[in-house]
Structure 1
């Protein structure tokens, strides 16, 4: 095969992209993984103290043991695990290189990045969903005090912090920041803490709310953000709360524009689920496959590392057939 020509080009160097690269290598296919950031970029951008819901054996790929100090591994252990897999297996991966366009040219795909140009007979899209936050679409969201990503709690010590959301990311941030000295208010659209919050965390947040350590506003939404305040609409009234920082942890979504530009069709409803064959993972565009959470469209809670690891074998088997 000529230089920059591959049997398989994998877009995304997360756990599932790495699994696809390993499977391609094991089956003798020429391959390249292209990742826009560091190895497992999405995991790198997770909160520093994040603990996985899944146990370590369910995060394993290619039957390579994942040993952690507790049943539920943390972010640091996951970074170590996937980095060692990548380096020890000498995977062919380009880091800090972003795919710009994918165009079909006869029997091959012409892939342009910000650094180079590649050609491949098959494309695997394993880009996940962590890149684009779901915006609030309100006045003041562009202020520097507002963030859609949470890293660690020290920054918010001694500050009035409003956290928008009720999922695992929002609840973890609320508890951590409260324990580091932040005055935390939770703005929750529904009538209770999210039902999918980790079972060992849920009692903690409920008890902190009951005792008044963390203030929760249910059936509420932020309507405006200014430098020292936020405006909150509840079922009964409109509130103005003093505020220093806002964490809008309302979830994330795949880059649908990137998919549609490749010709991949999406469902017509709000779920925007990409069209693909569940038996082969091939999309409506012959030669383009989906792997990992990208398969779920807006239903990002349905796919995880543990239930999408199998995609690598399904895809490579189909390519070889």
Structure 2
């Protein structure tokens, strides 16, 4: 069993930022990531372009140079990979955390490969692993996916895209341009207000000209092998359908947080309890970093505004050590 000052669960941008901070502070640390480096970003759509400019995605003042002002997925993957490699960060990849519990003043972390202990634990696990389910009949069919990767797969197919956010709108436009017959199903009365400002007019124009069909104020009622039922204010409408992309958002692993004893707000936001000055949760020595801090408000924290979590956390850890 190996003992560290800090274990960081999650090897995304903010987990990497925490690793850099630990190294600068001279603390022993370990980053544990269940997949490749920046696993969530790796699973983003192949052609995805960030809303943020490259300088806002930088960590630890390391320059991020991209071809355009707003970088694409492949550029971000290379940027964060180079940071890990050039700084020789201590990271375990493809090692899934299976259990965490606290013994007196130490956290014991059991993974798919080993067990480690540390005085402090940082959770930087994001929210991309658990999709918000539709909870309808047929959602488990192979034709349904909560993740979108490549538009080529849907060429010449009848595709229903559920959602009104950036991921849904990007997928609808890309698949339409690869020859898919795209239908959007949107719960509200319009395309989401937070959709990228250079993309929103595009989708509205495609809808207005009839290239992409849309049902507003609508939800999915049932999915079958070759059809989908849409519930609208005019009743149930049945469409021929080959594939469904249910891009309805994602959420943090609340069960994991609750198992560790992290308190959550008793409303629908499920905000975790932490001190914003130190990022320490109600469990001593357990810190939260990145988008996990937002609970169900997954639009609240991004790379650009949660980069500050790393120095806050390590200032607190060093202060506690000096006491």
Q: Same fold (TM over 0.5)?
A: yes
CA offsets, 1:136-186, max 9 Å, x none?
Answer: 000000000000000010000000000000000000000000000000000
1:107 is displaced (CA, Å) by 1.3
2:215 aligns with 217
**2:102 is aligned with 1:98:** no
**2:21 is aligned with 1:20:** no
Number of residue pairs the alignment of both structures matches? 319
Q: Which of 286, 304, 317 does residue 315 from structure 2 map onto?
A: 317
Alignment of 1:19-168 (within 5 A): 19-168=17-166
1:207 aligns with 205
Q: Which of 253, 266, 269 does residue 268 from structure 1 map onto?
A: 266
| TM-score, length-scaled by structure 1 | 0.99
Q: Which of 5, 8, 14 does residue 7 from structure 1 map onto?
A: 5
**Structure 1 residue ranges (4+ consecutive) displaced by more than 2 angstroms after TM superposition:** none
1:236 is displaced (CA, Å) by 1.5
1:238 is displaced (CA, Å) by 1.1
CA–CA distance in 2 between the matches of 1:26 and 1:106?
A: 27
1:250 aligns with 248
Calculate the aligned-residue CA RMSD, in Å: 0.5
Structure 1 gaps of 5+ residues are: none
**2:232 is aligned with 1:228:** no
1:227 is displaced (CA, Å) by 0.5
CA–CA distance in 2 between the matches of 1:59 and 1:316?
A: 20
| TM-score, length-scaled by structure 2 | 0.98
SS of residue paired to 2:14 = helix
CA–CA distance in 2 between the matches of 1:111 and 1:243?
A: 45
CA–CA distance in 2 between the matches of 1:111 and 1:22?
A: 21
More deviation, 107-116/48-57 = 107-116
CA offsets, 1:122-143, max 9 Å, x none?
Answer: 0000000000000000000000
